[in-house]
Amino acid sequence: MRKNLGRVFLAILIFLHVEVFASAYTWSATSNKTTAYLNEPIHLRYICSFSDRAEVMTIVFNPASEHEKYTLKNLRQSQNIVDGKRVNIYEFVAFAKVAGEIIFDFEAQMEQTTKESIENTVIGRDNMQKEQFVKESFKLETLSVNVKETDKSLVGNFGIEIKKHEPKVKAHEPYHIEVAIKGNGNFEALKPLSFNIEGVKIFAGDVVEKIELSENGESGEWSQKFAFVGEADFKIPAIKIEYFNLAEQKSDVLMINAIDVSVVKGFSKEELLDKVEDDSFKFDYSYFYYILTFIAGFLAAKVEIKKRVVKLNAEEEFRKKIDETKSLNELMFLLVLRDSKKYEQIILDIESKKIVSLSSAKKLL
């Protein structure tokens, strides 16, 4: 009985504070730009300010991420109590897909818990299965941005650098470079780089992105590693990436000059795979010994059980060579010459030091 009286008393106290159920609120909206270029980040900020702590109010505000005219990314959300009043802030970064006027026209769903719901929760009525809400759709302030055309899909403020060693290697020894692009903009417009150099095997690593979303768009670093293997001197062509420079508001180019790589004599293909056969014939009287030995063996085979010499096939011969390798470098060169495409990942892992044990590498083959 006392327990029920306590619940009723608590419900009465809540009902006396009518203002709890009549929280007033206002919305405001701002954009950091009124004009922008295609794919330029646009920072949108929406603020809902309440007249009190608004403890029984819930906001549902989830604009669609994809629209026919723009892409919308959620930057951050926050809820705080400032001077006893609740403030909710929603921030987004939009990227325009088409030129012309773009209007950001959103609605928020405002949900308020009813007195009946709290009464049922406090008193403990068993016939209520869920909370009751009063819902209201609130049309937010419309924001308009005029979007200008560009002739480049990559837009932002970027810089490029190449990480490399002295351009001098031994034959069949890989030469490494790493291309890194840093700055802010729409990094997702960057595509993996590719090279085509006659007589050179090229191993391209996966793109690595260390990027965070900010008010200025995507900020961070985009990088890709390469390994080049050749038998003679070769040239890595210049890298040229066109983009729209927001700082200067004009088309620009990320450029790295060509690299001339000097290749000195090192391991030969024959040394790594098969012995070189000398096509020239030089008569040597010692051959008589081998001929006589062969004849003797042939005659013996006629009267004794033949002992078949097992000859290794190409794959077995390759496996044998793998077993005989004494270092990771030797193993890597063997794989390059055998089938660089098939063993590309293992070769890259050895080069990037992901594999540091010869036995571990052999287990993967």
**Phi, psi of 189, deg, nearest 5:** -80, -15
302 and 351 belong to one structural domain: yes
Give the pLDDT means over successive 10-residue stretches in the chain (365 positions): 49 45 85 96 97 92 95 96 96 96 96 65 50 82 96 94 92 93 94 94 94 93 95 94 95 95 75 50 46 53 51 77 84 78 82 82 81
Are 25 and 13 spatial neighbours (Cβ–Cβ below 8 Å)?
A: no
CATH code for position 255 = 2.60.40
* Residue the block writes with tokens 């010692």: 286
- pLDDT, position 131: 52
Q: How many domains does the chain have?
A: 3
Q: What is the per-residue pLDDT for 307?
A: 47
Q: Of 148, 181, 210, which closes a domain? A: 148
pLDDT, position 166: 92
The per-residue pLDDT for 21 is 47
Question: HSE-up of 92 (CA within 13 Å, CB side)?
Answer: 24
| Four-residue CA torsion sign, 197, 201, 206, 208 | negative
pLDDT at 208: 95
Please indicate, yes or no, whether residues 260 and 273 belong to a single structural domain of this protein: no
- The DSSP annotation for 281-327 comes to ----TTHHHHHHHHHHHHHHHHHS---PPPPP-HHHHHHHHHHH--S
Last residue of a domain, one of 218, 238, 264: 264
Q: Are residues 38 and 170 in the same domain?
A: no
Same domain assignment for residues 6 and 144: yes
Q: Which of 230, 217, 136 is nearest to 174 (CA)?
A: 230
For residue 164, the model assigns a pLDDT of 92
| 129 and 170 assigned to the same domain | no
Structural domain for 228, as ranges: 155-264
Last residue of a domain, one of 148, 176, 205: 148
Using a CB cutoff of 8 Å and minimum separation of 24, what contacts does 195-201 make?
A: 195/226, 195/228, 195/236, 195/237, 197/228, 197/230, 197/234, 197/235, 197/236, 197/237, 199/230, 199/231, 199/232, 199/234, 200/228, 200/229, 200/230, 200/234, 201/228, 201/229, 201/230, 201/336, 201/340
